[in-house]
Amino acid sequence: MKLLPEIAKRKSPRAFHSRPVEEEKIRLLLEAMRWAPSSYNRQPWRIVLVTDPAVRAQLHAGLMAGNRRWAVKAPLLAVVVSRPEADDVRHDNGIPYYLYDCGQAVMSLVLQAEHLGLRCHQMAGWEQGPVRAALHLPEEEQPLVVIAIGYEGDIADLDERSREKEMVPRTRKEIREFAFRDRWGTPIC
């Protein structure tokens, strides 16, 4: 038995090719989001896809410098948006599932992107003001994450700092560090 190839090979690269993402593929990414599960099927996610050069430039200005360095090359930027006032409908357990749901929808998009030969790099490193202004977001809408989407490029084309970060080996916790059997803290294996 093996991991799904899309899970096994997925990564968040910094090197993007400038080749545009085909409209048909964009459509499939959105379809993948569309069919994500959500609490009470509320589907709280919204997404703004940015390809227009002027809007892209405004969005780039809102990214933290460390992200801007590499993200400017990505042909497609997406901003996932929720509306806390409408979407934060808590159940009896008090958990704000709309954020959980938006995350699931993004993962659905990310895995579909991998399936289509695309890569995604999610970012929390951006400023609210410029991102809101770039998209003309109404006050009640809350941007959650910016995603660079495109075909993976050549690491040699990255600036030095981004290239150094890109070379750091990807690591993960061991399963026994996050999964327990029967009682909290009892290692699963």
Ligand X SMILES: Cc1cc2nc3c(=O)[nH]c(=O)nc-3n(C[C@H](O)[C@H](O)[C@H](O)COP(=O)(O)O)c2cc1C
In the chain, what is the straight-line distance between the N-terminal and C-terminal CA atoms, in Å? Answer: 18
Is 125 near ligand X (CB under 6 A)?
yes
* Sequence-distant (≥ 6) Cβ neighbours of residue 148 within 8 angstroms: 16, 70, 71, 74, 76, 77, 120, 121, 123
- Encoded one letter per residue, x for contact with ligand X by CB under 6 A and - for no contact, window 29-68 reads --------------------------------------x-
In the complex, what is the shortest distance from the CB of residue 38 to ligand X, in angstroms, rounded to a whole number?
A: 18
Residues facing residue 147 across a β-bridge: 78, 122
**Nearest residue to ligand X on Cβ basis:** 125
Is 122 near ligand X (CB under 6 A)?
yes
* Sequence-distant (≥ 6) Cβ neighbours of residue 134 within 8 angstroms: 50, 55, 58, 59, 61, 62
- Strands 142-150 and 76-82 turn out to be antiparallel
Is 11 near ligand X (CB under 6 A)?
yes
At which residue do the structure tokens 């997925």 appear?
10
Q: Give the pair of three-digit tokens for residue 33.
A: 């989001």
In the complex, what is the shortest distance from the CB of residue 39 to ligand X, in angstroms, rounded to a whole number?
A: 19
Query: Out of 145, 157, 163, 166, which residue is the one contacting ligand X (CB under 6 A)?
Result: 145
Query: Out of 6, 12, 49, 51, which residue is the one contacting ligand X (CB under 6 A)?
Result: 12
Stretch that binds ligand X, among 90-98, 122-130, 134-142, 176-184 (CB under 6 A): 122-130
- Interface ranges with ligand X (CB under 6 A): 11-12, 67, 122-125, 145, 170
